[in-house]
Structure 1
């Protein structure tokens, strides 16, 4: 049987480890806020669309010069959009990696500080005698047959990563 000694810490560390697992999926929407197409790019997209519609109304055989003049304008704008898109993609990659590293560092720091702060607090107690493992599971707590904060973080991290693997992959 399992007896919860400190329910707050149990839930607290489960939430922290869940956030840690979900960080790669939280980064995408956060980074998307910083790398949206500019108003100039949106206007260029609209211009290309307008020019292509105009080009459709022109007969290529009868008005060859006008048709190709529009085609050159379209190509020029699309080349500019391609350059801007590549620039935006490299910026997006930089933002994603920065946000990912920052979030991982913050969550890891919170977990490490919390584990140090609550190192002597047992999270749950198990019934029975777990002789070969009891010392390792309870260290540095002095409650018999308890699972300490350190071990609870490792157990919850492994369990949550295993449970969420099919969902987040």
Structure 2
């Protein structure tokens, strides 16, 4: 029923289509390496923890002035930490989207160039008559009842996206 004519190309295009689907999930760990909290953020966080522990040792009723002075320092440092983390998160989003776009463009470019390069190579030949769809499935290949690289990439891409959607969602 099915004869694989060019197995290497079949696996190659399946790999490219799978890679195209997985690009957003592969870029997350890469981006995570670039957007860790800075030393300043860690220093501010440790200072906040020290001030909070010092504040717990002070009675609010008996030493209100010292308690509120420490509280104002804590509030100021927490505001600074919040601003720093928001800046880091916006930078993270920019890096993540740029990396995803770059990888997606690279994979798409390799796929398009490969389809153009191997455009006349049939991937699979089907037994039987594919009368209404035979010409569309084999174009531009000349082999009857064959599936060309164009159609193979379209079918593989659709199938892989459909199969991986429940897993990746």
TM-score range, shorter chain: over 0.9
The aligned residue for residue 84 of structure 2 is 84
1:24, CA displacement in angstroms? Answer: 1.5
TM-score, length-normalised on structure 1? 0.97
**Structure 1, 46-55 or 152-161: larger mean CA deviation:** 46-55
Aligned to 2:14: 14
* Corresponding residue number in structure 1 for 2:154: 154
Alignment of 1:97 with 2:106, yes or no, is: no
Task: Give a deviation string over 1:132-161, Cα, whole Å, max 9, x none.
Answer: 111110111111111000000000000000
Equivalence map 1:48-87=2 (5 Å):
48-87=48-87
Counterpart secondary structure, 2:132: helix
Shift of 1:27: 2.2
Paired residues in the alignment total 169
Over aligned residues, Cα RMSD in angstroms?
0.9
In 2, Cα distance between equivalents of 1:30 and 1:168: 18
Match of 2:108 in 1: 108
Q: Report what 1:143 is aligned to.
A: 143
SS in 2 for 1:132: coil
Residue 42 (structure 2) aligns with: 42
Q: Which runs of 5+ in 1 are unaligned?
A: none
CA shift, 1:68, in A, is: 1.0
Any runs of at least 4 consecutive aligned residues in structure 1 with deviations exceeding 4 A, and if so which? none
Structure 2 CA distance for aligned equivalents of residues 87 and 5 of structure 1: 54
Shift, 1:92, TM fit: 1.1
Looking at structure 2, the residues matched to 7 and 53 of structure 1 have their Cα atoms a distance apart, in angstroms, of 66
- 2:147 is paired with a residue whose SS is strand
> 1:12 offset after TM fit, Å?
0.6
Gaps of 5+ in 2: none
Deviates more, 1:81-90 or 1:145-154: 81-90
Deviation sequence 1:77-131 (CA, Å, 0-9, x none): 1111111111111111111111111011000000000000110111111110101
